[in-house]
């Protein structure tokens, strides 16, 4: 399987290079040259398979012959054995026809673990034998950093620098990163927003000298392996609810559009999907785009669902590329213009193509809080604020096709204060991490300046 850049100015590469490279050298994102297909009979058979087996099949479709199938299955088994639920991503019913996909049973209690646990093993596998040590630079809006630290701590061939916006993430989120004691992990509190952190990461990747000096790699949702790994639970949940015999719809709390785009990928691979509702908080760039066709950056507003406080959804570039009928020149023009002016006017035909699958709904803070309480009262389920954004969006969307799966992206105990304020109930951390608050923290503080952060990365990598 070959991977091309959405901007068309980088050479096509194989799976291993696309994963280890993260962002393409021309600033675009890698996508497979063609979408691999999974037949209806095979999708039906997923209902009887373990999560790890389905993961090996779906990710294997993207890895092609670059990773041995038996090795991949072993890696998937190991990755998903770190989850505390045997089903890995279990379904809970909220009401007739509406289900929660619980994506938060991994080591850092957020859906990022689903992709990161397998990604770390893929990295180890791919780098071993090459004698390489890579430096992973990642910007986190809260959960990516914790998931990356949990997945990569102590691994020999990889060191991780995690950038997080100071004061914009919850204490539990921060502690999942900063309490790691392994020397291959560095955490940096950046005086700025998540978008600032993300822009600094982009800048670092475009610095060819730094990139080579520290063998830079990325695990943000720009990394295609994460998207591939996230497509897996669209298949497992839909198959459990009767796919491909009936269409299933999804409602996804969205920030960087990685989770929702994975649904698009599953759809392109042959999974019948009714619709995907893209639920946003007050940072509603995606909801506005699907409604109006104008992708326009606003000011980032802090909310109680901080992992979605994003006004520049990096995976939107992949959808744009696909929806223009794969026009790399147009995609490069549009996203260069967005970097300058902060706006893309999506052409009517492109927008119509996006709307064939996606619909956007923005949810206010008050609605999110009310939904946490109402869900507890009506179902006994305590949900986190990100999940609540999606549940609230669903109640505002029109009738969807078939059963609906709402992506429950974090455990409520990651956001104890806001959940308790909304519901009157303080969520408890699961047994394995109950002592998190007592562990010592270790992190550095830097201004939101690309140069100082790049110097820090260089020093940490010993380059």
Ligand X SMILES: *Cc1c(COP(=O)(O)O)cnc(C)c1O
Residues designated catalytic:
112
Distance CA 304, CA 362 (A): 14
On whether the CB atoms of residues 297 and 343 are closer than 8 A, the answer is yes
DSSP lists the bridge partners of residue 189 as 164, 445
The residue behind tokens 């946490």 is 372
Binding status of residue 256 toward ligand X by CB under 6 A: yes
Nearest-approach distance from CB 104 to ligand X, in angstroms? 8
Of positions 193, 223, 254, 368, contacts ligand X by CB under 6 A: 254
Distance CA 214, CA 134 (A): 7
Fill in the DSSP letter of residue 84: S
Distance CA 57, CA 46 (A): 10
Classified as helix, coil or strand, 55 is helix
Of positions 13, 31, 110, 422, contacts ligand X by CB under 6 A: 110
Nearest-approach distance from CB 313 to ligand X, in angstroms? 7
Classified as helix, coil or strand, 250 is strand
* 91-95 and 98-102 beta bridge pairing: antiparallel
Nearest-approach distance from CB 111 to ligand X, in angstroms? 6
Distance CA 113, CA 142 (A): 12
Binding status of residue 107 toward ligand X by CB under 6 A: no
Of 215 and 384, nearer to ligand X (C-beta) is 384
**# residues contacting ligand X (CB under 6 A):** 18
Of positions 108, 134, 170, 221, contacts ligand X by CB under 6 A: 221
Quick one: which segment of 128-136, 157-165, 251-259, 327-335 binds ligand X (CB under 6 A)? 251-259
Q: Cβ contacts of residue 288 below 8 Å, gap of 6+?
A: 294, 295, 296, 360, 362
Binding status of residue 258 toward ligand X by CB under 6 A: yes
Binding status of residue 112 toward ligand X by CB under 6 A: yes
Nearest-approach distance from CB 285 to ligand X, in angstroms? 12
Q: Which of these, 99, 98, 97, lies nearest to 89 by C-alpha position?
A: 99
Positions 116 through 175 that interact with ligand X (CB under 6 A): 143
Distance CA 366, CA 363 (A): 8
Quick one: which segment of 39-47, 105-113, 328-336, 356-364 binds ligand X (CB under 6 A)? 105-113
Of 224 and 460, nearer to ligand X (C-beta) is 224
Of 10 and 281, nearer to ligand X (C-beta) is 281
Nearest-approach distance from CB 419 to ligand X, in angstroms? 12
Nearest-approach distance from CB 427 to ligand X, in angstroms? 14
On whether the CB atoms of residues 291 and 346 are closer than 8 A, the answer is no
Nearest-approach distance from CB 259 to ligand X, in angstroms? 4
Quick one: which segment of 63-71, 231-239, 250-258, 446-454 binds ligand X (CB under 6 A)? 250-258
Residues 374-413, one symbol each (x = binds ligand X by CB under 6 A, - = not), give ------------x----------------------xx---
Nearest-approach distance from CB 106 to ligand X, in angstroms? 11
Binding status of residue 308 toward ligand X by CB under 6 A: yes
Q: Which of these, 26, 30, 80, lies nearest to 56 by C-alpha position?
A: 80
E strand residue ranges, 390-455: 404-408, 444-447
Of 157 and 262, nearer to ligand X (C-beta) is 262
Q: Measure the CA dihedral 142/144/149/155, to 10°.
A: -170
Q: How far apart are the first and last CA of the chain?
A: 33
Quick one: which segment of 87-95, 237-245, 257-265, 420-428 binds ligand X (CB under 6 A)? 257-265
Binding status of residue 307 toward ligand X by CB under 6 A: yes
What is the 3-class SS of 177-207, one letter each residue?
HHCCCCCCEEEEEEECCHHHHHHHHHHHHCC
* Sign of the C-alpha dihedral computed for residues 296, 298, 300 and 301 taken in this order: negative
Nearest-approach distance from CB 260 to ligand X, in angstroms? 6
Quick one: which segment of 86-94, 108-116, 209-217, 320-328 binds ligand X (CB under 6 A)? 108-116
Edge-to-edge strand order for the sheet containing 216-217? Answer: 216-217, 134-139, 158-165, 185-191, 444-447
Binding status of residue 255 toward ligand X by CB under 6 A: yes
E strand residue ranges, 23-116: 30-32, 91-95, 98-102
Quick one: which segment of 106-114, 195-203, 320-328, 445-453 binds ligand X (CB under 6 A)? 106-114
Q: How many CA atoms lie within 13 A of 394 on its CB side?
A: 29
Point out which residues bind ligand X (CB under 6 A). Answer: 110-112, 143, 221, 253-260, 307-308, 386, 409-410
């Amino acid at each position: 399987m070959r991977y091309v850049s959405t901007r068309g100015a980088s050479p096509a590469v194989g799976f291993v290079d696309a994963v280890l490279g993260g962002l393409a050298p021309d600033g675009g994102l890698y996508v497979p040259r063609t979408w691999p297909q999974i037949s209806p009979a095979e999708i039906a058979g997923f209902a009887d398979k373990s999560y790890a087996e389905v993961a090996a099949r779906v990710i294997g479709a993207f890895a092609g012959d670059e990773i041995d199938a038996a090795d991949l299955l072993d890696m998937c088994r190991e990755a998903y054995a770190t989850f505390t639920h045997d089903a890995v991503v279990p379904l809970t019913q909220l009401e007739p026809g509406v289900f929660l996909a619980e994506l938060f049973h991994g080591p850092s209690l957020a859906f990022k673990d689903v992709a990161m646990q397998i990604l770390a093993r893929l990295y180890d596998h791919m780098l071993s034998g090459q004698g390489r040590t890579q430096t992973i630079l990642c910007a986190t809006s809260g959960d990516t950093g914790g998931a990356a630290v949990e997945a990569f701590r102590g691994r020999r061939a990889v060191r991780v620098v995690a950038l997080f916006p100071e004061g914009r993430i919850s204490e539990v989120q921060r502690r999942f990163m900063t309490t790691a004691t392994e020397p291959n992990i560095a955490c940096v509190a950046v005086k700025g927003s998540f978008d600032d952190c993300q822009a600094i990461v982009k800048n670092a990747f475009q610095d060819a000298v730094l990139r080579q000096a520290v063998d830079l790699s990325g695990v943000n949702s720009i990394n295609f392996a994460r998207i591939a790994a996230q497509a897996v639970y669209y298949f497992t949940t839909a198959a459990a609810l009767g796919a491909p015999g009936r269409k299933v719809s999804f409602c996804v709390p969205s920030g960087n559009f990685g989770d929702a785009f994975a649904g698009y990928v599953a759809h392109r691979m042959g999974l019948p999907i009714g619709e995907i509702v893209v639920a946003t908080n007050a940072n509603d760039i995606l909801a506005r785009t699907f409604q109006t066709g104008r992708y326009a950056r606003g000011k980032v507003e802090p909310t109680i669902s901080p992992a979605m406080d994003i006004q520049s959804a990096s995976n939107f570039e992949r959808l744009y590329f696909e929806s223009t009928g794969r026009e790399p020149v147009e995609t490069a023009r549009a996203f260069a213009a967005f970097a300058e002016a902060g706006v893309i006017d999506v052409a009517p035909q492109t927008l119509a193509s996006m709307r064939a699958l996606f619909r956007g709904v923005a949810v206010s803070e008050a609605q999110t809080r009310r939904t946490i309480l109402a869900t507890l009262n009506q179902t006994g389920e305590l949900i986190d604020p990100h999940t609540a954004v999606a549940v609230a969006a669903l109640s505002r969307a029109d009738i969807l096709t078939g059963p609906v799966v709402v992506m429950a992206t974090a455990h409520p105990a990651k956001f104890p204060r806001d959940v308790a304020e909304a519901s009157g109930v303080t969520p408890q951390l699961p047994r394995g991490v109950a002592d998190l608050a007592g562990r010592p923290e270790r992190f550095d503080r830097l201004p939101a300046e690309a140069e100082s952060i790049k110097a820090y990365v260089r020093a940490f990598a010993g380059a």
